[in-house]
Structure 1
Amino acid sequence: MAPFTEQVIRIIKSIPEGRVMTYGGVARAAGSPRGARQVVRILHSMSRKHKLPWHRVVNVKGQISLTEDESSSLQKLYLQGEGVLFDEQDAIDLEKFQFHPEPAE
């Protein structure tokens, strides 16, 4: 497994309940500031295998990026169940709910 992929998996697993990260935030924390699309691919292909809390990753606007209604609704339901609040535009206040992991040692 590539080092970036390993870092992304570690970072996503570290997002605590009730907090979120953006795709770009995960990529930056994993050492590739322009790797947001790769984070999407990793989530899509490895969430089940690595039991990743995929629902805690949102877009830069604090919104759910999934376009399929069922998946989008499920992600929102999971986040609300953890205490994450959505505004009238279905956006999360990233100032309040965004997680910033400690730098890797």
Structure 2
Amino acid sequence: MMQSRELMQQILAVVALIPYGKVATYGQVAKLAGLPKHARLVGYALKHMDAQADLPWHRVINSQGKISLGRLNERGENIQQQKLLQEGIALTCAKVDLKKHQWDA
């Protein structure tokens, strides 16, 4: 297996490509990074990436279309949900409509 630093870079390189107004699942990012069946590694990479990194981490969601990260802003709002809303991606019953918003990579 490759060095974990290289794996993280592969994952984050894919995350950087997710277009504005679209989302990708953890599994989709893993597959595009050449790491099929390693969705959890994508979650790990996002959780441990530099907080200052200018990457659209908020566009990565789980396979059910739900937000998995619980980061809150100073007003107690889910940061990921707020960022998605700013891009016109609404959540219905805490889920993103994958048919409508999933990145067709």
- TM-score, normalised by the number of residues in structure 1: 0.82
Cα-Cα RMSD: 1.7
Amino acid at match of 2:101: F
| Distance in 2 between residues matched to 1:83 and 1:11, nearest whole Å | 21
Gaps of 5+ in 2: none
- Asked if structure 2 preserves the Cα contact closer than 8 Å seen for 1:26 and 1:36, the reply is yes
Amino acid at match of 1:6: Q
Aligned residues: 98
Aligned twin of 1:18: 21
| Distance in 2 between residues matched to 1:12 and 1:24, nearest whole Å | 12
Gaps of 5+ in 1: none
Aligned twin of 2:43: 40
Aligned twin of 2:31: 28
Any runs of at least 4 consecutive aligned residues in structure 1 with deviations exceeding 3 A, and if so which? none
Q: CA deviation at 1:5?
A: 2.2
| Distance in 2 between residues matched to 1:6 and 1:42, nearest whole Å | 9
71, 81, 88: which one pairs with 1:83?
88
Amino acid at match of 1:59: N
Fraction of identical pairs, as percent: 38
| Distance in 1 between residues matched to 2:22 and 2:79, nearest whole Å | 16
| Distance in 1 between residues matched to 2:43 and 2:20, nearest whole Å | 20
